[in-house]
Amino acid sequence: MGHRFLVLLFIVFLAFSWNMYNLIKINIFSYDIFRRKLEYYTTFEVYTSPERGNILDRNGEVLSFNTEETRIVLHKSKYNLLTNDQQKFVKNFIQSRFKINDFDDLINESYSEQIVIRSNPNFSDICLVMENLMYVYGVDVVVDYKRQYSGPAFAFTLGFVNIPYKEDVEKNKDLFYYSSVGKDGLELVYDKELRGKLGKEKYLIDPLGQPVKILQQIPPERGKDVNTTIDKKITLFSYKKLKDLCDNLSLKNGQPVGGSVILMKVNGEIITLVSYPSFYVYSTTNGIYFKPDRNEVMKKFPDFSYLYNRALRGEYPAASTFKIITSVAALEEGIINENTHIYCPGVFFVGSHPFYCFNKYGHGSLDVIHALAVSCDVFYYFLGYKLGIEKIKKYAEILGLNKPTGIDLPFESSGLIPSHAWKERYMREEWTKGDDVNIAIGQGLGLVTPLQMAVVVASVATGFRPTPFINKERKPKLQKIPVKEKNLLLVRKGMEEAINMGTAAVIKSIVRKYRVAGKTGTAEVPVNSNNPKGLNNTWFVGYFGVDKPEYVIVVSLEASGGYGGQYAATLAAEIISYMEKSLL
């Protein structure tokens, strides 16, 4: 028994000694050999672009979504690993088989991992690539996602995606691996949430370039959906009515007529924001294509852009809608009160220079309520003369002008409420009392955007200035304005009387259930390349609700001709009437 134990012990000792010898040999004597071998091994990371989140309307209806699309692609990072000869082979394969003549430009100018060679390839193309995968390293057949949109009514709200550009990748190197990133609209503002997180596979590669094993595997994470305040049905209706009106007026006038409609809750929730002309967005092999939605008259005026968001970026004279601001300023500054009457003979003189009322016979003696209702120019010439630009500017800014509104959309314009210093700096001219008189009725140098006017109206209707927003998850941001409630009540009454017996009386004949208050505007504009006849811009701005103000509506028409109560107010009435039938 003891002999056997000794033999077993000896065998164990020999095995242990042999293992120790090999460990010493590998780690000490053969270390350099194995180290040099391992130097030929490398790792390679493959990133997978995730599915983008959808954009939904306030009722959960899809506005922007994805469809699957088969593509033949070239992975740029894999292509860059090839030798010069191998790259030439891949280049010749792609150029000869897929008729890609600008291959070098495609490689050099691309800042995306996947370069699309062909979208929706036929069966023959797919078979050709699959048969040659071993020889054309980096070329592959993949199933990716193509972004789809709900049409031109939503183009300026949703925006669009495109392949990453140089500036995108310079800001965030991870964007190189995404097949698309947001470029405008909500797609840009909420790109981080929508685009999701990259998938990743890390491989150990042997000296022959073959993967040995997967070292790390992380699946892509789909982007989050963005729920909006937009109402799809109301937006489609509003866009159609705006488009029909602009098309008819363009044909009638023989020159382009554009416009915008904004429908907003008084707390800042955007229900509808449309601009016409507009565009469809289509994906192409390496980017996007815009198809204009415009009429035949517009095509003859190449400077009349269909890519211009008139609701957010359009800067226009406010015309008589500015009288809302002038009224607030004069009441707050004590220049007038509820009992003040001013006589309108049809003309107002600054020195010897006449400023005429649109009613050449005059309106007679008016208080602020009726002056606002009938839009008497002389009444507001007097107020402008007394106030001066600095006080007018003060209240314009309190109500939301002369700065971006802060909406969660990019590229918003600031508008302009000028001053003495501004005119001296940019026009090399002194400010005059004539300028005060002009801006008081929304003419002259002042410019506003339709969205800014929506904020002004909401501020007057409630006493709180809202920040417009479209992402439903954002909380309303309301700031109380430093204006006395009794003065706001007078302005509201004037806007109500504009509907009851004034310049916007057409509203009353169409709207049945909502109580509406508003103001029309007709702006004289100079002749330009898009408006060779010098036709007026027209406005309607207002608020409405059942028992209290709930919504704000702004209609702005560019070179429509006519006057605000004729076209803009009628369009507003039709949209409000549609809401009555849809919501009440």
What does the pLDDT average to over 64-77? 90
14/254: higher pLDDT:
254
For 495-528, how does the pLDDT look when each residue is reduced to its tens digit (9 = 90+)? 999 999 999 999 999 999 999 999 999 999 999 9
Whether 445 is in a domain gets the answer yes
Tracing tokens 């595997």 back to the chain, one arrives at 217
Residue at which a domain ends, from 191, 206, 227:
227
For 553-565, how does the pLDDT look when each residue is reduced to its tens digit (9 = 90+)? 999 999 999 998 9
372/99: higher pLDDT:
372
Q: Is the pLDDT of residue 284 over 90?
A: no
Q: Which amino acid is at 196?
A: G
- 208 confidence band (pLDDT: 50, 70, 90): low
Instruction: Answer yes or no: do 193 and 307 share one domain.
Output: no
- 138 confidence band (pLDDT: 50, 70, 90): confident
Look at residue 8 in the predicted model and tell me its pLDDT. Answer: 66
CATH classification of the domain holding 74:
3.90.1310.10
Instruction: Answer yes or no: do 143 and 201 share one domain.
Output: yes
Residue at which a domain ends, from 207, 227, 247:
227
Instruction: Answer yes or no: do 295 and 387 share one domain.
Output: yes
What does the pLDDT average to over 90-98? 87
Q: Is the pLDDT of residue 533 over 70?
A: yes
For 155-176, how does the pLDDT look when each residue is reduced to its tens digit (9 = 90+)? 999 999 999 999 999 999 999 9
Q: Structure tokens of 93?
A: 């394969």
Instruction: Answer yes or no: do 480 and 551 share one domain.
Output: yes
105/167: higher pLDDT:
167
Whether 264 is in a domain gets the answer yes
Q: Is the pLDDT of residue 207 over 80?
A: no
Phi, psi dihedral angles at 416 (to 5 degrees): -155, 120
Query: Are the C-beta atoms of residues 389 and 436 closer than 8 Å to each other?
Result: yes
Nearest CA-CA partner of 181 in 293, 58, 171, 151: 171
**Cα dist. 142→73, 129, 364 in Å?**
7, 11, 76
Q: To 5 degrees, how large is the angle CA 437–CA 439–CA 440?
A: 65
Q: Which amino acid is at 431?
A: W
Instruction: Answer yes or no: do 68 and 205 share one domain.
Output: yes
Whether 465 is in a domain gets the answer yes
Whether 434 is in a domain gets the answer yes
For 195-205, how does the pLDDT look when each residue is reduced to its tens digit (9 = 90+)? 999 998 887 87
Look at residue 42 in the predicted model and tell me its pLDDT. Answer: 78
Q: Is the pLDDT of residue 19 over 70?
A: no
Look at residue 168 in the predicted model and tell me its pLDDT. Answer: 93
Instruction: Answer yes or no: do 215 and 244 share one domain.
Output: no
Query: Are the C-beta atoms of residues 146 and 228 closer than 8 Å to each other?
Result: no
Residue at which a domain ends, from 200, 227, 254:
227
Q: Structure tokens of 579?
A: 């809401």
Look at residue 556 in the predicted model and tell me its pLDDT. Answer: 98
Instruction: Answer yes or no: do 204 and 63 share one domain.
Output: yes
Instruction: Answer yes or no: do 203 and 150 share one domain.
Output: yes
Beta carbons within 8 Å of 184's beta carbon, 6+ residues apart: 159, 160, 410, 411
- 40 confidence band (pLDDT: 50, 70, 90): low
Query: Are the C-beta atoms of residues 376 and 392 closer than 8 Å to each other?
Result: no
Domain around 360: 232-583
- 78 confidence band (pLDDT: 50, 70, 90): confident
Beta carbons within 8 Å of 551's beta carbon, 6+ residues apart: 263, 264, 265, 266, 271, 543, 544, 545, 579
Whether 26 is in a domain gets the answer no
- State the chain's mean pLDDT as an integer: 92
CATH classification of the domain holding 441:
3.40.710.10
Instruction: Answer yes or no: do 383 and 250 share one domain.
Output: yes
What pTM does this model have?
Answer: 0.90
**Torsion sign (Cα): 240, 242, 244, 246:** negative
Q: Is the pLDDT of residue 16 over 70?
A: no
Q: Is the pLDDT of residue 90 over 70?
A: yes
3-class DSSP state of 77: helix
33/256: higher pLDDT:
256
Look at residue 86 in the predicted model and tell me its pLDDT. Answer: 86
Instruction: Answer yes or no: do 221 and 239 share one domain.
Output: no
Instruction: Answer yes or no: do 329 and 370 share one domain.
Output: yes
Whether 337 is in a domain gets the answer yes
Q: Is the pLDDT of residue 132 over 70?
A: yes
Whether 16 is in a domain gets the answer no
What does the pLDDT average to over 57-61? 97
Structurally, how many domains does the chain consist of? Answer: 2
Q: Is the pLDDT of residue 354 over 60?
A: yes
Q: Is the pLDDT of residue 584 over 70?
A: no
Whether 461 is in a domain gets the answer yes
Instruction: Answer yes or no: do 289 and 250 share one domain.
Output: yes
Look at residue 203 in the predicted model and tell me its pLDDT. Answer: 79
Look at residue 32 in the predicted model and tell me its pLDDT. Answer: 56
